[in-house]
Amino acid sequence: MIKMAKKAFTLVELLVVISIIAILMAVLMPALGKARQQSKAVVCISNLRQMVIAANAYILANEGYYPLAGFTENRAGGIYNSYGWDYLQVRQWGVLRECEPGLLWQKNGTLKIQQCPTFKGGANSQGDPYTGYNYNASYVGGVMSREVSGRTSGVNSSKADQIRRAFGCALFGDGEYGTSWSANNGANKYMRSPFIGKLENMADHGGLRYAGTQGYRHLGSTNVGWADGHASKVKERYTETYSSQKTLIVSGTGFLSPDNSAYDLE
């Protein structure tokens, strides 16, 4: 019986095959990477939608008021309570003792919802287990504090019935900011309009515009949860603000509108 000799690949043939594989990988990898980013953007929008649902549940239980963006409380014995819209942190003599879902969730939320799957930076507040989102503190969520003496100061949140165009009022979004001296300072908690808003004053908040921007990290878009309950991506990025702040806004971050129209109650 005659045995057929097995023909091996020549070096040239192997090089051709390797070249074809390399070309296919070069073509497919960007597409696969884009698909992964799109998948993360979908998860992010779902997170924001759940935040808006939680805000509406809070409204029903609290006489129509939106949750505060932040409420701090100094108590005897070195105890400092920070009731954030996202987390409640209890510290004693500066040491973190407790961290649980904050005012938005009325202590019954899933913490991981507050992690944008695309954001890889650190949290601005030490002890926060997840990060990536901010809350409209220019027009919606107020900030208050209470001293050991019982004295309370600050501004309360807006009420839902004050918003005239709920579909155009941003509640939550992809928080992120940078500065000219640092490309990424983190995911800010407080969303700021490009100019001073209803719940702010120039002395305390005028210099915070750059620190309340949105992160356009989903293939050049940013995600937003709106007051009417829907969440969507926004492609347009704006940097209009006070001249002293404009130079601090870095590429990839910005505002949702050139004025306050995407943030205000009108």
CA–CA dist 140, 128 (Å, integer):
22
pLDDT for the residue numbered 34? 63
One-character DSSP codes across 195-251 = S--TT--HHHHGGGSGGGPEE--BTTBEEEEETTS-EEEE---B--S-HHHHTTPPT
Total count of domains within the chain: 1
pLDDT for the residue numbered 180? 56
Which residues, 6 or more positions from 116, have their beta carbon under 8 angstroms from its beta carbon?
Answer: 44, 47, 131, 132, 133, 174, 187, 217
Tell whether 49 is covered by a domain.
yes
One-character DSSP codes across 11-50 = HHHHHHHHHHHHHHHHHHHHHHHHHHHHHHHHHHHHHHHH
Distance between alpha carbon 252 and the CA centroid of its chain, in Å?
13
pLDDT for the residue numbered 6? 57
pLDDT for the residue numbered 150? 86
pTM of the model: 0.84
CA distances from 102 to 25, 90, 249 (A): 45, 11, 29
Tell whether 264 is covered by a domain.
no
Q: For residue 127, what are its two tokens?
A: 């002890």
pLDDT for the residue numbered 128? 84
pLDDT for the residue numbered 84? 92
Radius of gyration of the chain (CA): 24
Tell whether 29 is covered by a domain.
no
CA distances from 111 to 85, 98, 217 (A): 12, 13, 21
One-character DSSP codes across 176-197 = -EEETTEEEEEB-SEE--SS--
Tell whether 80 is covered by a domain.
no
- The SS3 of residue 144 is strand
pLDDT for the residue numbered 170? 99
Q: Which element (helix H / strand E) includes 51?
A: helix 11-61
* Domain span including residue 247: 38-63+112-254
Does residue 127 come out as left (phi exceeding 0), alpha (psi in the -120 to 50 range) or beta?
left
- In the chain, the amino acid numbered 232 is S
Tell whether 148 is covered by a domain.
yes
Tell whether 262 is covered by a domain.
no
Which residues, 6 or more positions from 12, have their beta carbon under 8 angstroms from its beta carbon?
Answer: none
Q: What is the pLDDT of residues 77-111, one digit of tens each?
A: 888 899 999 998 899 898 888 888 999 998 787 78
Tell whether 177 is covered by a domain.
yes
Tell whether 85 is covered by a domain.
no
Q: What is the DSSP letter of 52?
A: H
Q: Which element (helix H / strand E) includes 57?
A: helix 11-61
Residues of the chain where predicted confidence (pLDDT) is lower than 50: none
